[in-house]
Structure 1
Protein backbone atom coordinates (compact mmCIF):
# COMPACT_ATOMS: atom_id res chain seq x y z
CA UNK A 1 0.00 0.00 0.00
CA UNK A 2 1.32 3.43 -0.91
CA UNK A 3 1.54 6.10 1.76
CA UNK A 4 1.10 9.76 0.93
CA UNK A 5 1.89 13.00 2.66
CA UNK A 6 0.06 16.25 1.96
CA UNK A 7 0.93 19.93 2.04
CA UNK A 8 -1.49 22.84 1.94
CA UNK A 9 -0.45 26.38 1.07
CA UNK A 10 -2.59 29.49 1.41
CA UNK A 11 -1.97 32.52 -0.82
CA UNK A 12 -3.55 35.81 0.26
CA UNK A 13 -5.06 37.76 -2.60
CA UNK A 14 -4.66 41.48 -3.06
CA UNK A 15 -6.40 44.26 -4.90
CA UNK A 16 -9.20 46.56 -3.85
CA UNK A 17 -11.79 43.76 -3.78
CA UNK A 18 -9.34 40.88 -3.50
CA UNK A 19 -8.88 38.10 -6.01
CA UNK A 20 -5.60 39.29 -7.49
CA UNK A 21 -2.33 37.41 -7.10
CA UNK A 22 1.14 37.82 -8.52
CA UNK A 23 1.00 35.19 -11.27
CA UNK A 24 4.78 34.83 -11.55
CA UNK A 25 5.17 34.36 -7.79
CA UNK A 26 2.34 31.81 -7.80
CA UNK A 27 3.88 29.89 -10.70
CA UNK A 28 7.34 29.97 -9.11
CA UNK A 29 5.90 28.55 -5.87
CA UNK A 30 4.16 25.73 -7.77
CA UNK A 31 7.35 24.92 -9.69
CA UNK A 32 9.44 24.88 -6.50
CA UNK A 33 7.11 22.35 -4.92
CA UNK A 34 7.04 20.30 -8.12
CA UNK A 35 10.85 20.09 -8.08
CA UNK A 36 10.60 18.78 -4.50
CA UNK A 37 8.36 15.92 -5.67
CA UNK A 38 5.00 17.47 -4.74
CA UNK A 39 2.09 16.95 -7.13
CA UNK A 40 -0.70 19.53 -7.27
CA UNK A 41 -4.01 17.79 -6.52
CA UNK A 42 -6.36 20.70 -5.83
CA UNK A 43 -6.53 24.48 -6.06
CA UNK A 44 -9.51 26.57 -4.99
CA UNK A 45 -10.40 30.00 -3.69
CA UNK A 46 -12.25 31.13 -0.60
CA UNK A 47 -14.99 33.69 -1.05
CA UNK A 48 -14.83 37.17 0.38
CA UNK A 49 -17.77 39.15 -1.03
CA UNK A 50 -19.55 39.53 -4.36
CA UNK A 51 -17.42 36.90 -6.09
CA UNK A 52 -14.06 38.23 -4.86
CA UNK A 53 -11.55 35.80 -3.42
CA UNK A 54 -9.76 36.20 -0.11
CA UNK A 55 -7.33 33.27 -0.35
CA UNK A 56 -6.18 30.74 -2.92
CA UNK A 57 -5.71 27.32 -1.31
CA UNK A 58 -3.32 24.87 -2.97
CA UNK A 59 -3.07 21.19 -1.98
CA UNK A 60 -0.12 18.98 -2.94
CA UNK A 61 0.67 15.31 -2.33
CA UNK A 62 3.73 13.13 -2.70
CA UNK A 63 4.73 9.63 -1.76
CA UNK A 64 5.97 9.40 1.80
CA UNK A 65 9.73 9.11 2.09
CA UNK A 66 10.41 10.97 -1.16
Structure 2
Protein backbone atom coordinates (compact mmCIF):
# COMPACT_ATOMS: atom_id res chain seq x y z
CA UNK A 1 0.00 0.00 0.00
CA UNK A 2 1.38 3.40 -0.94
CA UNK A 3 1.63 6.34 1.44
CA UNK A 4 -0.73 8.33 -0.77
CA UNK A 5 -3.40 5.63 -0.52
CA UNK A 6 -2.97 5.38 3.23
CA UNK A 7 -3.35 9.16 3.61
CA UNK A 8 -6.65 9.00 1.69
CA UNK A 9 -7.92 6.41 4.16
CA UNK A 10 -6.93 8.40 7.24
CA UNK A 11 -4.02 9.09 9.53
CA UNK A 12 -2.80 8.73 13.10
CA UNK A 13 -3.21 11.71 15.43
CA UNK A 14 -0.97 11.94 18.51
CA UNK A 15 -1.30 13.52 21.96
CA UNK A 16 1.37 13.80 24.66
CA UNK A 17 0.32 14.06 28.30
CA UNK A 18 2.54 14.59 31.36
CA UNK A 19 1.17 13.46 34.71
CA UNK A 20 3.08 14.99 37.63
CA UNK A 21 3.50 13.04 40.85
CA UNK A 22 2.59 14.81 44.08
CA UNK A 23 3.93 14.93 47.60
CA UNK A 24 6.90 16.69 49.12
CA UNK A 25 9.34 14.38 47.33
CA UNK A 26 7.34 14.35 44.10
CA UNK A 27 6.83 10.59 44.19
CA UNK A 28 3.20 10.23 45.34
CA UNK A 29 0.81 8.99 42.64
CA UNK A 30 -2.90 9.87 42.75
CA UNK A 31 -4.25 6.72 41.06
CA UNK A 32 -7.87 7.93 41.02
CA UNK A 33 -6.87 11.13 39.19
CA UNK A 34 -4.74 9.21 36.70
CA UNK A 35 -7.51 6.64 36.09
CA UNK A 36 -9.99 9.45 35.46
CA UNK A 37 -7.73 11.11 32.90
CA UNK A 38 -7.03 7.79 31.16
CA UNK A 39 -10.71 6.82 31.05
CA UNK A 40 -11.63 10.20 29.58
CA UNK A 41 -8.99 9.86 26.86
CA UNK A 42 -10.16 6.30 26.13
CA UNK A 43 -13.75 7.51 25.75
CA UNK A 44 -12.48 10.04 23.19
CA UNK A 45 -10.83 7.24 21.19
CA UNK A 46 -7.24 7.70 22.37
CA UNK A 47 -5.04 4.61 22.80
CA UNK A 48 -1.85 4.56 24.87
CA UNK A 49 1.08 4.04 22.48
CA UNK A 50 4.03 4.59 24.83
CA UNK A 51 4.96 5.90 28.27
CA UNK A 52 8.07 6.70 30.26
CA UNK A 53 8.93 8.26 33.60
CA UNK A 54 10.69 11.56 34.12
CA UNK A 55 13.74 11.10 36.32
CA UNK A 56 15.58 13.39 38.68
CA UNK A 57 18.80 12.67 40.48
CA UNK A 58 19.47 9.15 41.77
CA UNK A 59 16.63 7.70 39.67
CA UNK A 60 13.72 9.35 41.50
CA UNK A 61 10.69 9.87 39.24
CA UNK A 62 8.69 13.10 39.29
CA UNK A 63 6.05 12.11 36.78
CA UNK A 64 5.15 10.08 33.77
CA UNK A 65 4.89 11.09 30.11
CA UNK A 66 2.29 9.23 28.06
CA UNK A 67 1.93 9.30 24.30
CA UNK A 68 -1.49 8.47 22.88
CA UNK A 69 -2.67 7.88 19.33
CA UNK A 70 -6.04 7.65 17.60
CA UNK A 71 -7.06 7.04 14.03
CA UNK A 72 -8.62 9.95 12.16
CA UNK A 73 -10.63 9.10 9.06
CA UNK A 74 -9.86 11.14 5.97
Provide the TM-score with structure 2 as the length reference.
0.77
Structure 2 portions without partners, runs of 5+: 1-5
* Shift in Å, 1:49: 1.9
Provide the TM-score with structure 1 as the length reference.
0.85
Aligned residues, how many? Answer: 65
Structure 1 portions without partners, runs of 5+: none
- 4+ runs deviating over 2 angstroms: none
More helix by share: 2
Q: Secondary structure at the match of 1:26?
A: helix
